[in-house]
Amino acid sequence: MKLLALETANEQCSVSIVDETQTLYFQLDTRAKAQTQTILPMIEQGFEQNQISSKDLTAIAFSRGPGSFSGVRINAAVTQALAWANDIPVIPVSTLQALAQAAYQQAQLTEVTAVLDARMQEVYMASFKLDQNNIMQLVDEEKLLDYQHAAEYQKYTLIGSGSALVNVEAIAFQQITASANDIATIARQNALQKQWFSAEQALPVYLRDNAWKKIPEQGKP
């Protein structure tokens, strides 16, 4: 099995290639909003280092959102293009679930409420709990909430960029971010069980009905 995992939903870019048991390649570019310039060269570098091509992939996993609108769109578009061109199945992974998985990997947290800053005085939010396979699983529903309702929706330890927006004292784990390795960890279980979808199902999830608002409307400086 060869699984390609892509993560661009958080305004950074990372690419991972894994097999059944190990990571074969990982590259992270932390520059904000450089995904369009870096993702394809990073994928090619991974192929070259492992002496494989797109045709050798078992599946492509990607962070399907919620997250940065442009980042989520890039992730889905690249995944669809590669999958369609090579008849490869896809595995969409929640950005919030990947964030929860990162919290387990980085801080050994087993019950978390993942929160991402959604701008416009709102956050993306959901809670997760570790299962017997060491995969963080959703225990409620992914939602887009204002800060007040988000505080009421919290179940476990807050993690992610929106933590302090929900609770000003929740700063311990706000720097945790997900990477393609977290996407790969989650998707590997699906790939081993052939739980995947056709290329046309590589669709982004925004949670916000109007994802096309201009920057001034998003409350950004």
CATH topology of domain 96-166: Nucleotidyltransferase; domain 5 (3.30.420)
Does the structure show a pLDDT above 50 at 213? no
Residue 122's nearest CA partner among 18, 22, 5, 208 is 208
Spell out the residues 6+ positions from residue 151 whose beta carbon is closer than 8 angstroms to its own. 166, 167
pTM, rounded to two decimals: 0.92
Spell out the residues 6+ positions from residue 153 whose beta carbon is closer than 8 angstroms to its own. 113, 125, 140, 143, 145
Q: What is the pLDDT of residues 139-181, one digit of tens each?
A: 999 999 999 999 999 999 999 999 999 999 999 999 999 999 9
**Domain locations along the chain:** 3-94+178-201, 96-166
Q: Is 138 helix (H, G, I), strand (E, B) or coil?
A: strand
- Summarize the confidence of residues 16-34 as an average pLDDT: 93
210 pLDDT band, cuts 50/70/90, is low
Residue-by-residue DSSP string for 156-221: SEEESTTHHHH-TT--TTTT----HHHHHHHHHHHHHTT--B-GGG-------S-TT--GGGGT--
Q: What is the pLDDT of residues 176-195, one digit of tens each?
A: 999 999 999 999 999 999 99
- The whole-angstrom separation of Cα 189 and Cα 106 is 20
Does the structure show a pLDDT above 90 at 216? no
- Radius of gyration for the chain, computed over Cα atoms and rounded to the nearest angstrom: 17
Q: Which top CATH class is 3-94+178-201?
A: alpha beta
Are 128 and 105 a contacting pair, CB within 8 Å?
no
Q: Matching CATH topology for 3-94+178-201 and 96-166?
A: yes
Q: How many residues does the chain have?
A: 221
- Summarize the confidence of residues 105-127 as an average pLDDT: 97
- The whole-angstrom separation of Cα 171 and Cα 149 is 19
